[in-house]
Structure 1
C-alpha cells in the first residue's frame, strides 16, 4: 500500500484485490452466482498491505458516524447507499447552518442543490490526489445537471443572489467535513512514515 495521501490510503485500506473483472463475470455467467473463494495469498506484500490497512481502518473507526460516512462515501470502494445518504445529510446540515438564510419554500430545492454539490465535490476529489475535474463548472452546466439527473428546474435569472452563496456554503461544508474525516488517517500515515 502506498501512503501518498490520506484519501488514497482510505481507499486502499478497504480495497480487496480480486480476479480480473472478466473472470468474475464469466464465473457468474457459468454458475449463475458469485462464489467466494478461500485461496489465500501467501506473499509478504499482501501481509504488509493487510497490516497497514488494519491501522488505517482502526483510525477511521475513531471518527464520529457522520464523518466516517462522509469519508466512506468519498473514498471507500465499499461505500453504501447509507454512507451516501448520511454524507449528504451531514453536508446539508453544515451548509444550511453556515450559509445564507432561506425561506421554507426553498428548503427542499436546497436539499437537491446540496446533493448536486456533493456529487461535484466527490467527482473532483476521487482518486486520492484531488485531480478530478468539476463535472459542472458553470452555473448553466450545474442547472442542466440538476434538471437532467434530479428533475430540479432552477431559474437562471438571479442565480448569484438566489443560489450561488448556498452552493459556495455547500462546497465549504464538504471541504470542512473532508478535512475533519481525513485527520486521523493523516496522523496514522505520519506516524508510520516516521517509524519506517
Structure 2
C-alpha cells in the first residue's frame, strides 16, 4: 500500500482533524453506514420485483446473493483504506504528543486546522525567550515584542499558506495595534535584521517540531517499499 502521507506539514494538519478517532470507531461507523445503505437498496429492489411476475422470489434471492458479495468486497476495501489512514494519523498524533509542550503548540499554531489562543501564546513565548537578536538600543528592545506575533503569522503564511512574507508596511500596520510605531523609511536600517532573526528562529523551531513527524513518514515509506 502507498504511504498515506508524504509531507510532514500536511500530515500534521490532517491528523489533527480527528484527534479522538480510533480505528475501531471508524470501522464501526463505516459498517453501520454500509449496512443501512444495503438494506435500503434491497427494500427498493424487492418492491420493484414484487410487480414483475411469479418468479420474483427466485430473482430476489439471486440479487440478494450478488448484493452480499458486492457489499462484502466494497466494505473490505473501504474499511482497509480507512483503517490505514486512521492508523497513520494515530502515529502522527503520537509523534506530536512526544514533543515538548512549547514545540507542540508551535506546530499546532502553524499546522493545526483549529489552533487555539494557547497555541499562539506558547508560540509567542517560545520565540521571545529563545530568539537571538542583534545588539539593540533600549528603545529598540522595547519594540521587539510587537514584532513577534507578526513574525509568527508571516512564517505561517509562507510555510503552509504558500504566500509571501509580510511586507514592512503590513508589519508596521499590525504593530499599531500595540500602539508601537516604526519608521518605514528606516525599516531596512533599523529592523530588517531583527525581522530576519525572528523568521530564522521560526524556521528552526518548525524543523524541530516536524522532525518526529518525518520519522514516521519515512518509516512508512520504508515499509511500503519493502512490501512492494
For residues 174 and 118 of structure 2, the distance between their equivalents in structure 1, rounded to whole angstroms, comes to 23
Which structure has the bigger radius of gyration?
Answer: 2
CA deviation vs aligned residue, 1:97-153 (integer Å, no higher than 9, x gap): x221233443342111121111111111225xxxx11262x3233323433x55432
Greater helix proportion: 2
Q: Is residue 139 from structure 1 mapped to residue 168 from structure 2 by the alignment? A: yes
Unaligned runs of 5+ in 1: 18-38
**Counterpart residue number, 1:154:** 182
SS of residue in 2 equivalent to 1:40: helix
Measured at CA, do residues 88 and 67 of structure 1 come closer, stay the same or move farther in structure 2, by a change above 3 Å? Answer: same
Measured at CA, do residues 165 and 57 of structure 1 come closer, stay the same or move farther in structure 2, by a change above 3 Å? Answer: same
For residues 30 and 135 of structure 2, the distance between their equivalents in structure 1, rounded to whole angstroms, comes to 56
Unaligned runs of 5+ in 2: 20-27, 32-77
User: How well do the aligned residues superpose, as a CA RMSD in angstroms?
Assistant: 2.2
**Counterpart residue number, 1:101:** 135
Aligned partner of 2:192 among 142, 164, 183: 164
Q: Is residue 180 from structure 1 mapped to residue 208 from structure 2 by the alignment? A: yes
Q: Which runs of 4+ in 1 moved over 6 A?
A: none
For residues 165 and 179 of structure 2, the distance between their equivalents in structure 1, rounded to whole angstroms, comes to 17
**Counterpart residue number, 2:25:** none
* TM-score, scaled to structure 1: 0.76
Aligned partner of 2:145 among 86, 99, 111: 111
**Counterpart residue number, 1:35:** none
**Counterpart residue number, 1:10:** 12
SS of residue in 2 equivalent to 1:114: helix
